[in-house]
C-alpha cells in the first residue's frame, strides 16, 4: 500500500493521476496485472511514443514498475502496479505517532461458525467443507480465506502504547464479501463490527462475488466458488465510527474506553437477528483482489508533561 502521510509528499503521485490517460493505464494494469507497452498503446489507440511519456510519469511517481523481458519481437518493457492500494491521510499533519500491524485472517482468537463455512490456505482446504470443527484445527493459523453463513470471527490486536500515550484513532482494513453457496453477486449481507464487545456499526455487503477470478487466488481454487470481496476501511476516533469515510455510528474511542493496558478485540459478525443474514467471507493475502490480511493501524498522542 502506498500511504501518503502528508499532502506535500504526495505531489508527484497527484500530478501523475491528473491525466485521464494515466488513470486508464492504472485501471488496465489493475485488471491485467501486467502489460507491455505495445499492449497499452493498442488498447488506448495511442502511439508508443505517447504511451512512453505517460508510463515514465507513472514510474517516476512510484505507482508502477517496469521490467524488461525478451519476447518474440525482441526486448519488451513490462509494466505492472507497484502497489495495489493508495491511501491519502488528509489529517496526518496533526498526528505524528502511529504503528501498524497485519494480522493473518487465520489468527482469530475466538469464533462461532454455521455452515456453509470453511477455511482454506493458499495450498488446500482445511479439513472439509461445512465442518465448523475445523475452525479449531491447528492448520487454521495458515488460513488465507474464511467463510461462514452465520457467526463471528474475533481477533486480538496488539496494543503497544505506553503509559504516557493515548489513543487518537484506530483503523482496520480488510477484504470482505457475503457468503453464498457457490457465489452470488447479488446477495446482500449485514456484517457487523465490534471492538471490545461494543458494536461499532454495520456494513451491508452487496454480494458474494464470483464473476471473475480473484487476482491473487491460487490456481487450484474452483472457479464456481466465490472469488473476491471489497476492501473496506473502518475508522474509530473521537468524532465517531466510519467505513470508507461514511459515518456508521456515533460510537467513539471514549465509549470503548481504551487505554495503554487495554485489550483490543476486533469482532466481525453476522448474527441471527440481521435483516440480511447472508454470511461473510474474509480474504487474506493469497485470495481475492487485495494482497493483504487484516491491517490494523493505531494513531496515538504522547503526553510530554
Distance CA 60, CA 182 (A): 42
Same domain, 69 and 100: no
Judge contact between 3 and 47, C-beta under 8 A.
no
Going 200 to 99 to 88 to 103, the CA torsion angle's sign is: negative
Q: What are phi and psi of 262, to 5 degrees?
A: -70, 145
What pLDDT is stored for residue 203 in this prediction? 95
CB atoms within 10 A of CB 232: 16
Q: How far is CA 233 from the centre of its chain?
A: 8
Is there a single domain that holds both residue 184 and residue 45? no
Residue 240's domain spans which residues?
95-302
Asked whether the predicted pLDDT for residue 205 surpasses 90, the reply is: yes
Residues 157 and 77 in one domain: no
Q: Closest by alpha carbon to 110, among 229, 196, 201, 234?
A: 196
Confidence bin at 8 (pLDDT 50/70/90)? low
pTM of the shown model = 0.74
Q: How far apart are CA 6 and CA 25, in angstroms?
A: 25
| Residue 129, pLDDT above cutoff 50 | yes
Q: What local confidence, expressed as pLDDT, does residue 7 receive?
A: 73
The residue-averaged pLDDT of 192-200 equals 97
DSSP 142-155: G-SEEEEEEEEEEE
Q: Which three cell numbers stand for residue 14?
A: 497527484
Residue 7 gets which letter from DSSP? G
- Please write the tens of the pLDDT for every residue from 235-292: 999 999 999 888 999 999 999 999 999 999 999 999 877 788 999 999 999 999 888 9
| Same domain for 54 and 7 | yes
Q: Is residue 211 classed as helix, strand or coil in its secondary structure?
A: coil
pLDDT tops 80 at residue 64: yes
Instruction: Give the pLDDT of residue 128.
Output: 95
How confident is the model at residue 6, as a pLDDT?
Answer: 66
pLDDT value at residue 72: 67
- Specify the pLDDT at position 93: 47
Q: In the Cβ-directed half-sphere of 141, how many Cα atoms lie within 13 Å?
A: 2
Contact 169, 96 (CB under 8 A): no
Number of domains observed in the structure of the chain:
2
Query: What confidence score (pLDDT) does residue 73 get?
Result: 65
3-state secondary structure 230-294: EEEEEEEECCEEEECCEEEECCCHHHHCCCCCCCEEEEEEECCCCCCCCCEEEECCCCCCCCCCE
CA angle at residue 227 from 32 to 130, to 5 degrees?
160
Domain boundary among 20, 55, 81: 81
> Among 36, 58, 81, which residue terminates a domain?
81
Mean pLDDT of the chain: 91
Residues 209 and 237 in one domain: yes
Cα–Cα distance measured from residue 15 to residue 9, given in angstroms and rounded to the nearest whole number: 12
Residues 192, 128 share a domain = yes
Helix (H) or strand (E) holding 119: strand 110-120
Q: What residues have CB less than 8 Å from 140, skipping those under 6 apart?
A: 106, 108, 119, 126, 134
Pair (40, 119) in one structural domain: no
Amino acid at each position: 500500500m502506498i500511504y501518503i502521510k502528508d499532502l506535500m509528499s504526495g505531489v508527484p503521485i497527484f500530478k501523475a493521476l491528473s491525466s485521464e490517460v494515466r488513470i486508464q493505464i492504472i485501471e488496465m494494469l489493475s485488471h491485467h496485472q501486467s502489460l507491455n507497452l505495445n499492449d497499452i498503446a493498442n488498447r488506448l489507440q495511442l502511439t508508443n511514443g505517447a504511451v512512453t511519456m505517460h508510463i515514465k510519469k507513472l514510474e517516476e511517481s512510484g505507482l508502477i514498475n517496469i521490467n524488461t523481458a525478451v519476447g518474440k519481437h525482441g526486448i519488451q518493457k513490462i509494466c505492472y502496479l507497484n502497489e495495489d492500494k493508495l491511501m491519502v491521510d488528509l489529517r496526518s499533519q496533526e498526528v505524528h505517532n502511529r504503528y501498524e500491524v497485519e494480522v493473518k485472517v487465520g489468527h482469530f482468537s475466538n469464533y462461532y461458525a454455521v455452515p456453509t463455512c470453511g477455511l482454506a490456505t493458499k495450498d488446500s482446504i482445511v479439513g472439509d467443507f461445512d465442518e465448523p470443527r475445523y475452525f479449531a484445527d491447528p492448520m487454521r493459523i495458515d488460513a488465507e480465506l474464511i467463510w461462514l453463513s452465520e457467526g463471528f470471527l474475533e481477533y486480538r490486536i496488539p496494543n503497544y502504547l505506553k503509559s504516557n500515550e493515548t489513543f487518537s484513532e484506530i483503523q482496520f482494513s480488510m477484504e470482505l464479501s457475503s457468503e453464498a453457496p457457490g457465489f452470488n453477486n447479488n446477495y446482500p449481507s449485514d456484517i457487523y463490527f465490534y471492538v471490545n464487545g461494543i458494536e461499532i456499526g454495520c456494513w451491508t455487503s452487496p454480494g458474494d462475488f464470483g464473476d471473475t477470478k480473484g487476482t491473487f487466488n491460487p490456481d487450484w481454487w474452483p472457479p464456481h466458488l466465490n472469488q473476491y470481496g471489497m476492501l473496506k476501511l473502518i475508522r474509530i476516533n473521537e468524532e465517531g465510527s466510519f467505513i470508507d469515510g461514511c459515518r456508521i455510528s456515533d460510537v467513539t474511542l471514549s465509549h470503548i474506553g481504551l487505554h495503554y493496558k487495554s485489550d483490543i478485540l476486533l469482532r466481525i459478525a453476522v448474527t441471527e437477528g440481521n435483516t440480511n443474514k447472508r454470511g461473510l467471507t474474509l480474504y487474506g493475502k493469497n485470495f481475492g483482489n487485495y494482497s493483504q490480511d487484516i491491517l490494523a493501524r493505531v494513531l496515538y498522542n504522547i503526553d510530554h508533561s
